[in-house]
Amino acid sequence: RARVLHSSDRGLTWRATDVPVPAGDPAKGVFALAVRDRAHALVVGGDYRADQASPRASATSSDGGRTWR
């Protein structure tokens, strides 16, 4: 499973949240994270060895990284 770590206390504690992008082997997962503000973020990833684009290769969060869609 692909996951993103997030913290709401400036890095004192961290929480892992599953992200709906392809995962399951070392070539699959989240490759980049962009944060717009405290609430909004975007992850992109997929399978870099695949011959075609990965389905569901990006996900967004609007609640500080607690949930992704």
Name residues of the chain where pLDDT drops below 50: none
What pLDDT sits at residue 60? 98
What pLDDT sits at residue 55? 81
What pLDDT sits at residue 13? 97
Q: Which of 68, 22, 69, 10 is nearest to 47 (CA)?
A: 22
Per DSSP bridges, beta strands 15-19 and 41-47 are: unpaired
pTM: 0.81
What pLDDT sits at residue 48? 87
48 touches 31 (CB < 8 A): yes
